[in-house]
Structure 1
C-alpha cells in the first residue's frame, strides 16, 4: 500500500467513525408520518373530518406522528400517555397556544386569555377570570339572568307543544344559549326594547366570525407569506370584528351612563370587568381593549361549547327513550312535577351530570382542544418536538379508545356513575376541558349552563319523534364539532300546572 492509498484508507475510516459518532450524539428523530409533496407537504391529502382522518393515520404511524402543513410542522397525539407528557410533564414548555393569522385580527392582536403567550400577563388574566369573573360566587350572583332566558325558551316551546307542532330544537337551543350568554355578559345593561336588535346583530357577527376562523389559510401554512394575506381572510375578518367592537362600545357606553345616573345595575360580567379596569392596581392594569378581548373570548367560546353539548345530548336521548325516561324519573324525585327546575337542584341530579359527561366523551366539542405551540425544542415519547411546531392532541380519539372505554361508540351515561371522572383534567383518558395550565377557564360556567338547560328541557317536556324515525347523530367538523343534521322533535307538556310554563 503506497502512501496515497494509506492516506485514503485512514481518511475514509476516520470519516465513517466521525459520522457514526455524530449519529450517536444526534437528537432523537422527529416522529414518523406519511410522505408529503415538496413545498406543500401533506396539505393536498387532508380530509375534511380531521379528527377521524388523524385517528386513521395513527393506526399506521403510531400515537404520535408528524405532518407537514406547508412550511408548518404539525405534531398529532392520539394517546393519553403522550398527552400526559405534553400537558403535565412538559406543561410549561407547551403552555402557549398556536396563533392563527385570522385569530390575531379577531382577538385584538392576541391580547385575550386564549391567545396570550404564557407569562406574567397571561397569569394575571387567568387569575382575574378564575377568581373575579367566572368564580362560583360570581356565577351565583347571575343565576337570575340565566334563569330568565331559559324560561323564555320554555314559554315558546310550551306554545308549540299546545298545538302539537314539531320544532327545530337545535335552533331553539342556540337562541337560548345565545341569550343566556348575552345576559351574563351585559344583561343588566341592555334595555328590553334593545334586546332583539342587539341579539340579531350579535348572532350575525358570531356566525360570520366562526366561519372565517374555520377556513384554511395560506398565511398559517406559510408564515413568511402572512403579511400579504393572499386569500384576504384577515381583511375579511376585520369587518365583523370591527362591528362587534362597535357593539361592545355601545354596551360599554350605556353601562357608564348607568353608573353616572346611579341606576341599579345587573350582576353581569361587564360590570365586573369595568370595575377591574378602573382599579388602581399595577398588577391588573386592564385597558378597554383588554375588556373587549375578554368579552370576545366568552362570546365565541361560551356559545359554541354549551350549544353543541346540549344539542348532542338531546339527540342521543331522543334515540334512547330509556335513558331519557330514567333522567326524567330522577328529576321527578328531586324536583317534582309541581315546580320548575332551579340551579340549586343540579347538585342533586347525578344522572343528569352523567349524561353531560358521556356527551362530552362521545362527542368531544373541541376535538383537538386548542393546538399548543412549544416554546422550546423538547423530547416527547422518544421523539423531538421542535420549537414553534403546531401540536394537536386528538382528545376525540382518546375518548374513544377501546382499551379504556368498554363499547366506546355506545352512549352509556352509566359509565360515569361508577367512576370518578371529573372535568379537571386529572385523568388523561378524559379531557373534555383540557388539562394543565391552559385548561378551559370557562369550565364552571359551562357546567352550570349545560346542566341547568338539559335538566329544564327534560323536566318541562316529553319529546317525540315522527313514528319510526331516529335522529342521525352525525358529527360535522369545525372549530367545534356540530350535529350535522337538524334536530327536529315535538315537545309535549309534562308539568302538572300549566302556569309553570308562563
Structure 2
C-alpha cells in the first residue's frame, strides 16, 4: 500500500519530480551498464507516473471536476480540434483529458470560452510553465504578471500608435508589387501559399525593420519556415505529452535549438543596427518605437522594468505570429473561392461597383471597409471555418475558479478549442457550411473567436485584418482565380493537425488578369 500521507506535501513532490531531481537521476542512470538502463528507465517512468497520479487523486478528492474522457492518446488524433469537439456529444462542452501525467480542461463552446477568458479573465490569464524553456520574456507564452502587462502595452502601442499612418501605405505598396509579379506570370499555375508567405513576411520586415530588401526578407522567411517545421515535428510535439523525454537524446530538439539561435542572431543584428543609428524622439519603424518606449517605461518601474530582451521577443512574436498565420488564411480564402466561383463573381462585382475597373489607381482604404460588406463577410467566414490557430495556446488558472458549475483548481491547464467554438451548433446555423451571407444580416451573427478573446487576445489582429482586406481586394480586383489546367481543386480538408497552425494542403492556382471595359475614372467612394 502507498502511504498517501507521504505525498500530500507539495515541497516533497517537487523534490522528487522537479527538473533538478530528474536530472540527478539521469546522471546516475548514465553510469549504469547498458543492459540495465532500459529496465531502470521503465521503473522510473512507472514510479513517476504512479506518484503523480496518486497526488492528483488526493488533491482533488472533494472537488466537483469536469468529466474525464477515457483514454490516454487523445493528442495523437489526426484532426484534434474536430475530435475534441466530437467528445462534447457525450461529455458536454467542458471536460478533462489526460495529457501525459496531468489532466487538462478543454473548452469547446462560445459560452464556456467567453466565461473563462472574458468574464473571469483574471482567473484564466496565466500560462503553464515549461521546464526546459525560459519564457519570462515571451509575450505570447510568458506568464501573466505586471511586467507582462507592460510588455504587451508597449508592443500593442508600437503596432497601433507607432505605425499609425504608415501601416496601410506599406501594405498597399507591397500588395501592388505582388500583383505586378503575378501579372508577369500570365496566368501560369503558381503555388499561391508560398507567394502569400513571402508577401506577409515582406510586410512584417518593412514594419519592424524599416527594410524590405529581398535578401533580408528571404533570410527571415527561411528562418520562420525552418522554425515552423521544427516545432510541428513529432519529436517536439511529444514533449508536451511526455515532458521528461526532453532529458533523452533528441535530434529534433537539437535542430530546433539551432534554428532558434539563427533567429536570435538575425534579430540581434537588427537591434544593434537600430541602436547605433536611431535618433532620440524619432522612429522609423516598430523597433525604433519600442526601444524608445522601453527606456521611458523602464524608469521607476522596479520589478516591472523592461529591457532590450523584451523588444527582441516582441519582434520574434511578430514574425512567428504574423507571417504564416495570415498567409495561411489568405490561402484558405483562395481555396474556398475556387470551390465557390459564384461567391468570387459576386465579390468582383462588388469591387467593380465600388472601386472601378481593375488596374486603376484607386487606393483601397481599410477605414471604408464597411462599403465592401461581402468581402468582409467572406473574410469572417473563412476565419470561422479555418481558424489558423484552432486550439488556442494553453492557459493556466492563476487561482481556483469555476466554469459552467465545475470546480477548476489553481494551476489547471485550460485549452480553448477555438475551432470547436466556431462550429458550435447552438450559435451558428449550418456551422460546417461555407456561407458568407450569414454575416450580412446585421446583428444576426456573433463575432468569431478566431483571434481569441480577453487578456490573451491576439496582439496582431488589427494588422492581420487590414492585410486580409487589402490583399484580397487587390487580388480579386486584378485577377480571376482559376484552377490549374487539369481542373484539380484544392482540398478543403486541413492537413493532420500538429503543432499550432491549421495547415492547408499545397495547391496551385491560375491568376488570370481581368480585362474590364474602361469606366468612369472619377474618384471612387472608397478612396481618400
Query: Map of 1:265-304 to 2, 5 A cutoff?
Result: 267-279=284-296, 281-283=299-301, 285-304=305-324
Say whether residues 1:140 and 2:140 are aligned partners: no
- Secondary structure of the corresponding residue to residue 165 of structure 2: helix
Say whether residues 1:35 and 2:56 are aligned partners: no
Alignment correspondent of 1:126: 152
Partners of 2:395 and 2:452 in 1: how far apart? 11
The one-character-per-residue Cα deviations of 1:205-256 (angstroms, maximum 9, x if unpaired) are: 2122222333444543345x37726535554332111111111122223223
Superposed displacement of residue 302, structure 1? 0.8
Alignment correspondent of 2:141: 115
Alignment correspondent of 2:402: 379
Say whether residues 1:69 and 2:86 are aligned partners: no
How does the TM-score come out when normalised to structure 1?
Answer: 0.82
Contact 1:421-1:430 at 8 Å conserved across structures: no
- Secondary structure of the corresponding residue to residue 349 of structure 2: helix
Partners of 1:343 and 1:314 in 2: how far apart? 21
Q: How many residues align?
A: 450
Alignment correspondent of 1:464: 482
Contact 1:75-1:390 at 8 Å conserved across structures: yes
Say whether residues 1:475 and 2:494 are aligned partners: yes
Superposed displacement of residue 292, structure 1? 0.6
Contact 2:110-2:422 at 8 Å conserved across structures: no
Superposed displacement of residue 101, structure 1? 5.5
Of 344, 349, 363, 1:324 maps to: 344
Partners of 1:137 and 1:410 in 2: how far apart? 40
The one-character-per-residue Cα deviations of 1:480-499 (angstroms, maximum 9, x if unpaired) are: 112123242333234668xx
Alignment correspondent of 1:355: 378
Alignment correspondent of 2:356: 336
Contact 2:438-2:444 at 8 Å conserved across structures: no
Partners of 2:327 and 2:224 in 1: how far apart? 13
Partners of 2:141 and 2:507 in 1: how far apart? 32
The one-character-per-residue Cα deviations of 1:304-352 (angstroms, maximum 9, x if unpaired) are: 2211111111111121111111111111122111334433553432221
Query: Map of 1:85-96 to 2, 5 A cutoff?
Result: 85-96=115-126
Partners of 2:250 and 2:398 in 1: how far apart? 29
The one-character-per-residue Cα deviations of 1:377-418 (angstroms, maximum 9, x if unpaired) are: 333223332332321111211211233222222211111111
Alignment correspondent of 1:258: 277
Alignment correspondent of 1:7: none
Contact 2:101-2:242 at 8 Å conserved across structures: yes
Query: Map of 1:42-57 to 2, 5 A cutoff?
Result: 42-43=72-73, 46-57=76-87
Is 342-351 or 225-234 further displaced after alignment?
225-234
Superposed displacement of residue 45, structure 1? 7.0
Superposed displacement of residue 154, structure 1? 0.8
Partners of 1:206 and 1:421 in 2: how far apart? 39
- The alpha-carbon distance between structure 1 residues 45 and 410, as it changes in their structure 2 partners (threshold 3 A), is closer
CA RMSD of aligned residues (A): 2.9
- Secondary structure of the corresponding residue to residue 382 of structure 2: helix
Partners of 1:288 and 1:385 in 2: how far apart? 37
Partners of 2:278 and 2:162 in 1: how far apart? 23
The one-character-per-residue Cα deviations of 1:154-179 (angstroms, maximum 9, x if unpaired) are: 11101112xx3121212211111111
Say whether residues 1:245 and 2:264 are aligned partners: yes
Contact 1:168-1:489 at 8 Å conserved across structures: no
Alignment correspondent of 1:11: none
The one-character-per-residue Cα deviations of 1:20-66 (angstroms, maximum 9, x if unpaired) are: xxx9x963333223333xxxxx1377312211221222222221121
- The alpha-carbon distance between structure 1 residues 86 and 44, as it changes in their structure 2 partners (threshold 3 A), is closer
The one-character-per-residue Cα deviations of 1:424-472 (angstroms, maximum 9, x if unpaired) are: xxx5x73121111111121111111111111111111112223654332
Partners of 1:139 and 1:100 in 2: how far apart? 36
Contact 1:361-1:396 at 8 Å conserved across structures: yes
Alignment correspondent of 1:433: 451
- Secondary structure of the corresponding residue to residue 510 of structure 2: strand
- The alpha-carbon distance between structure 1 residues 282 and 352, as it changes in their structure 2 partners (threshold 3 A), is farther
Partners of 2:174 and 2:131 in 1: how far apart? 35
The one-character-per-residue Cα deviations of 1:77-105 (angstroms, maximum 9, x if unpaired) are: 11222223211332111101235457x36
Partners of 1:254 and 1:26 in 2: how far apart? 57
Contact 1:217-1:231 at 8 Å conserved across structures: no
Alignment correspondent of 2:509: 488
- The alpha-carbon distance between structure 1 residues 494 and 255, as it changes in their structure 2 partners (threshold 3 A), is farther
Is 301-310 or 429-438 further displaced after alignment?
429-438
Contact 1:74-1:390 at 8 Å conserved across structures: yes
How does the TM-score come out when normalised to structure 2?
Answer: 0.78
Alignment correspondent of 1:412: 435
